[in-house]
Amino acid sequence: MSSAEQGGAVLVLEDGRAFRGESYGAVGRTVGEAVFSTGMTGYQETLTDPSYHRQVVVMTAPHVGNTGYNDEDQESTRIWVAGYVVRDPARIPSNWRSRRSLGDELAAQGVVGISGVDTRALTRHLRERGAMRVGIFSGPDAARPVEELRRVVGEAPAMVGTDLASLVSTDEPYTVPAVGERRFSVAALDLGIKSMTPQRMAERGIEVTVLPSTASLEQVLTSGADGGAPDGVFFSNGPGDPAAATHEIELLQNVLERRIPFFGICYGNQLLGRALGFGTYKLKYGHRGINQPVMDLSTRKVEVTAHNHGFAVDGRAGEVRETPYGRAEVSHVCLNDDVVEGLRCLDTPAFSVQYHPEAAAGPHDASYLFDRFVDLMAGTATPDENEKDA
Ligand SMILES: NC(=O)CC[C@H](N)C(=O)O
């Protein structure tokens, strides 16, 4: 069934603003946090990123679905976004890898979307008023009065204070083998991990044991080769508010105390921040897209990077703090708004970034960070020297 045959749909924001359009994907109703992504490409990776759990994603790129949906680019086993908002969906997808249209895939996975929306107006609204709850309603719901639908939206759970990692994490540990000879073993806590992340490590000779977010310290410490301690610990990206991740923060403090080399991405960066005693806060509307400029303050180099975060670590560019694990510095900042994009411990082998060096989707400028992790484990970089390979 084409979108036109599916009938009308309405998007209703928590503050009462409504946009009418056509149903796209599954027919029904959905609620979540409205966020926008500025990526021009990479929608399949976005849709399947578990960090988007409970979020309704608005695409600022006007044409979405041009390359259809393939069987290779997914970052997890399913689409995680709670809803999808586009202006102009492709009527005829075209790519040699495409297996079906994006609209058909959204429908097959039960994801409610809306098309024909003035996504520029919607994005400007979110930018001015901040991220807020939203609902998409199609089928018989589309005909209901907006005020009634707004009440439904208002009952959706808020993002602040919500611990979501356990809802998206793996139930059972699994191993991603090293490509070629195994040089290191890493325990990766799955807080919503994207499949490209263990892949990038495996390419560097790392065997990755992916553990559930509820893993105990004991499990982490016996997940290395032959049941021994791993050479490094990694914390992944993931949905929810880092302030609510009590178990994971405590686990990380134990890792830092033992001086096991640590690397964190996105949620992992926020959790390193909290483990060190930094605060975290909710950004007005967040950073999402694959075209965000970040400066590595140790080299002054600018990288174009992929982002997906609604929270951030509270700190200033270049700031060095005394923490229970020695000195820690703010190592990277976003050049759009000075938001903290990376942390590095100077006396403990640990660092993290708020953005996505795994680059799925996104530019590969930041892949050097996986090499820094290797250097930390190899002992070829002392924590305060590891800028040398940038
Ligand atoms: N992609 C992520 O890891 C996101 C982290 C956190 N949930 C945030 O929104 O900021």
Residue 27 falls inside a structural domain = yes
Q: Is 288 in the pocket of ligand 1 (CB under 6 A)?
A: no
Q: How many domains are contained in the chain? A: 2
**Residue 308 belongs to domain with CATH number:** 3.40.50.880
**Does 309 sit in the ligand 1 pocket, CB within 6 Å?**
yes
CB count within 10 Å of CB 319 equals: 13
| Active centre residues (catalytic) | 266, 356, 358
Residue range 339-356: average pLDDT? 98
Residue 382 predicted with pLDDT over 90: no
| pLDDT, tens digit, 9 for 90 and up, residues 35-44 | 999 999 999 9
pLDDT greater than 80 at residue 387:
no
| CA 177 from centroid of its chain's CA atoms | 23
Q: Is the pLDDT of residue 3 over 60?
A: no
Task: For residue 283, give the ligand 1 atom closest to its CA.
Answer: 10
Q: Which of 154, 177, 201 is the last residue of a domain?
A: 154
Q: Do 271 and 291 belong together in one domain?
A: yes
**Is the domain of 121 the same as that of 176?**
no
Among the residue ranges 22-31, 88-97, 159-168, 379-388, the one predicted with the least confidence is 379-388
* Nearest atom in ligand 1 to 49's CA: 1
Name the residue at shortest CA distance from atom 4 of ligand 1: 309
- One domain, residues 149 and 176: no
The CA-to-CA distance between both ends of the chain, in Å, stands at 51
Give the separation between CA 275 and CA 31, rounded to whole angstroms: 32
Residues comprising the chain, all counted: 390
Is the shortest distance between the CB of 325 and ligand 1 below 6 Å? no
**Do 185 and 220 lie in a common domain?**
yes
CB of 51 sitting under 6 A from ligand 1: yes
3-state class percentages of the chain: helix first, strand second, coil last, to nearest 5: 25, 35, 40
Burial of 384 (0-12, 13-18, 19+ CB in 10 A): middle
- One domain for residues 354 and 205: yes
Pair 170, 243 in one domain: yes
The helix/strand/coil state of 248 is helix
* 262 and 281 assigned to the same domain: yes
Residue 159 lies in a domain: no
- Integer Cα distance of 236 and 340 in angstroms: 17
With a 6 A CB cut-off, is 89 part of the ligand 1 pocket? Answer: no
CA of 267 to the centre of ligand 1 (A): 5
Closest CA to 10 of 186, 139, 127, 133: 139
Q: CA 334, CA 287: separation in Å to the nearest integer?
A: 10
Using H for helix, E for strand and C for coil, what is the string for 69-110? ECCCCCCCCCCCECEEECCEECCCCCCCCCCECHHHHHHHCC
390 or 276, higher pLDDT = 276
Q: Which of 154, 185, 203 is the last residue of a domain?
A: 154
Domain membership flag for residue 116: yes
Average pLDDT over residues 264-278: 98
Interval between CA 126 and ligand 1 midpoint (Å): 18
Beta strands in 127-271 (DSSP E): 132-138, 174-176, 184-190, 206-212, 232-235, 262-265
Task: Choose the final residue of a domain: 106, 133, 154.
Answer: 154
| β-pair type (350-353, 262-265) | parallel
Does position 389 have pLDDT exceeding 60, yes or no?
A: no
Query: How high is the pLDDT of residue 34?
Result: 98
Q: Is 273 in the pocket of ligand 1 (CB under 6 A)?
A: no
Helix (H) or strand (E) holding 37: strand 29-37
Q: What is the pLDDT of residues 87-139, one digit of tens each?
A: 999 999 999 999 999 999 999 999 999 999 999 999 999 999 999 999 999 99
Are residues 81 and 182 located together in one domain of the fold? no
Q: Among candidates 228, 186, 229, which has minimal Cα distance to 205?
A: 186
**pLDDT at residue 5 in the model:** 56
Exposed, middle or buried by CB within 10 Å (0-12, 13-18, 19+), for 173? middle
- Give the residue, out of 191, 265, 270, with the most ligand 1 atoms within 8 A of its beta carbon, to mutate for a pocket test: 270
Name the token pair of 27: 């027919």
CA–centroid distance, residue 287 to ligand 1 (Å): 10
Closest CA to 104 of 94, 96, 93: 93
**Closest ligand 1 atom to 236 CA:** 3
Q: Please state, in angstroms and rounded to a whole number, the distance separating the CA atoms of residues 106 and 127.
A: 26
Mean pLDDT of 212-219: 98
- Residue 1 — very low, low, confident or very high, per pLDDT cuts 50/70/90? very low
Proportion of the chain above pLDDT 90, given as a percent: 95
What is the 38 CA–ligand 1 centroid distance (Å)? 16
Q: Taking the CB of residue 246, how many other CB atoms lie within 10 A of it?
A: 10
Q: What is the mean pLDDT of residues 309-320?
A: 96
- In angstroms, the CA 364 to CA 60 distance is 22
- State the closest ligand 1 atom to the C-alpha of 311, by its place in the atom list counted from 1: 10
CATH number at residue 27: 3.50.30.20
ipTM (interface predicted TM): 0.97
Residues 142 and 230 in one domain: no
Compute the average pLDDT of residues 58-87: 97
| Ligand 1 near 184 CB (within 6 A) | no
Is the same domain home to 127 and 9?
yes
Tell me if 238 CB under 6 Å of ligand 1. yes
Task: Provide the 3-class DSSP secondary structure of residue 254.
Answer: helix
358: tokens are 């795994």
Give the ligand 1 atom nearest the CA of 241: 7
| 63 pLDDT above the threshold of 90 | yes
> For residue 327, what are the β-bridge partners?
322
CA distance 160 to 240: 7
- pLDDT for 384 equals 52
Same structural domain, 108 and 220: no
Q: Are 115 and 86 in contact (CB under 8 A)?
A: yes
**Predicted local confidence at residue 318, as pLDDT:** 87
In this prediction, residue 385 carries a pLDDT of: 47
Residues of the chain with pLDDT > 70: what percent?
96
Domain containing residue 123: 3-154
Quick check: bond before 361 cis, omega within 30? yes
- pLDDT over threshold 60, residue 375: yes
- What pLDDT, on a 0 to 100 scale, did the predictor assign at position 388? 42
Residues 190 and 213 both lie in one domain: yes
Contact call for residues 69 and 105 (beta carbons, < 8 A): yes
Share the mean pLDDT of the chain: 95
Which of 36, 159, 309, 352 maximizes ligand 1 atoms within 8 Å of its Cβ, making it the mutation to test the pocket? 309
pLDDT at 380: 81
Which H/E stretch holds residue 385?
Answer: none
Annotated binding site for L-glutamine: 51, 238, 240, 270, 308, 310-311
| C-alpha 354 to ligand 1 mean position (Å) | 8
